């Protein structure tokens, strides 16, 4: 790979981050390491065909679309008009809504599963968001969150890039993501769940330990 190719990845990530965040999420949603880890998390939840699923913070809807294709009745919600506009354009048949995770516009027990990727680690009020996710999930349903994990180091990142043979935009996006958002530990996730009355039954790692998920029965 030449010098220009190496520069193109980080430059594209920086430009999208600065000027077109929906474009950035739409682009990373197509990368194997990103979509694969998110799909793996959802598939591990073993939801039932026809389950009503709410994805909180769905951004441009790539995972929402995967869940719809898996046979669930899915709604994607995000507070960003721009994200939802792009999601509607990319996935016209999906049920998508602009809304605030701290005050979900749904009745109690409205969904069989409520999921959120990379949301509770970035919001200032994670407890309120998780309380709302719990409220709209039916008793016996599934509440699950996925976040970047503390403990995934720069060396781990290098190994991931190497084993997956990542280059260009894909490599730059992964590197930026590793450096960017706040991360959480498993105990932090478990404490957060218990603070809203959810007993986290399962915590699992994805993407060679870069991500951690906690799941509870509502």
Ligand X SMILES: C[S@@+](CC[C@H](N)C(=O)[O-])C[C@H]1O[C@@H](n2cnc3c(N)ncnc32)[C@H](O)[C@@H]1O
Nearer to ligand X (CB atom), residue 3 or residue 41 = 41
Residue 149 binding ligand X, by CB under 6 A:
no
Backbone torsion region of residue 207, taken as left when φ is above 0, otherwise alpha when ψ lies between -120 and 50, otherwise beta: left
Min CB(7)–ligand X separation in Å: 25
Token pair for 111: 């969904």
**Residue 186 to residue 192: CA distance in whole angstroms:** 10
- List, edge to edge, every strand of the sheet that includes 200-206: 95-98, 73-78, 52-56, 111-117, 137-148, 211-217, 200-206
Residue 35 binding ligand X, by CB under 6 A:
no
Q: Pick the piece of the chain touching ligand X (CB under 6 A) from 12-20, 78-86, 189-197, 209-217.
A: 78-86
Q: Pick the piece of the chain touching ligand X (CB under 6 A) from 7-15, 100-108, 161-169, 200-208.
A: 100-108
Measured CA to CA in angstroms, residue 86 lies from 124, 145, 158 at distances of 25, 23, 32
Query: Which residue's CB comes closest to ligand X?
Result: 57
Residue 47 binding ligand X, by CB under 6 A:
no
Residue 101 binding ligand X, by CB under 6 A:
yes
Residue 169 binding ligand X, by CB under 6 A:
no
Min CB(124)–ligand X separation in Å: 9
The residue ranges of DSSP E strands in the chain, in sequence order, are 52-56, 73-78, 95-98, 111-117, 137-148, 200-206, 211-217
Measured CA to CA in angstroms, residue 193 lies from 123, 130, 215 at distances of 15, 7, 9
Nearer to ligand X (CB atom), residue 118 or residue 175 = 118
- Contact with ligand X (CB under 6 A): which of 68, 114, 119, 145? 119
Helix runs in 112-167, H state only: 126-136, 154-164
Residue 40 binding ligand X, by CB under 6 A:
no
Residue 16 binding ligand X, by CB under 6 A:
no
Min CB(1)–ligand X separation in Å: 27
Collapsing DSSP to helix, strand or coil, 148 comes out as strand
- Contact with ligand X (CB under 6 A): which of 114, 123, 192, 210? 123
Interface residue list for ligand X (CB under 6 A): 25, 57-59, 78-80, 83, 100-102, 117-119, 122-123
């Amino acid at each position: 790979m030449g010098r220009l190719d190496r520069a193109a990845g980080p430059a594209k990530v920086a430009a999208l981050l600065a000027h077109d965040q929906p474009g950035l999420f739409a682009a990373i949603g197509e990368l194997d390491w990103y979509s694969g880890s998110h799909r793996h998390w959802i598939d591990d939840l073993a939801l039932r065909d026809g389950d009503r699923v709410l994805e909180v913070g769905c951004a441009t809807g790539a995972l929402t679309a995967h869940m719809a294709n898996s046979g669930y009745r899915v709604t994607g919600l995000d507070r960003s008009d721009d994200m939802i506009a792009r999601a509607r354009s990319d996935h016209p048949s999906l049920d998508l809504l602009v809304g605030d995770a701290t005050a979900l516009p749904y009745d109690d027990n409205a969904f069989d599963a409520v999921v959120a990727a990379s949301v509770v680690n970035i919001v200032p009020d994670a407890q309120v968001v998780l309380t709302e996710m719990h409220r709209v999930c039916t008793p016996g349903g599934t509440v699950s969150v996925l976040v970047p994990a503390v403990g995934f180091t720069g060396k781990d990142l290098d190994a991931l890039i190497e084993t997956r043979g990542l280059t260009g935009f894909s490599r730059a996006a992964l590197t930026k993501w590793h450096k960017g958002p706040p991360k959480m530990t498993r105990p932090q996730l478990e404490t957060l769940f218990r603070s809203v009355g959810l007993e986290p039954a399962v915590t699992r790692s994805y993407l060679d330990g870069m991500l951690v998920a906690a799941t509870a029965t509502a």
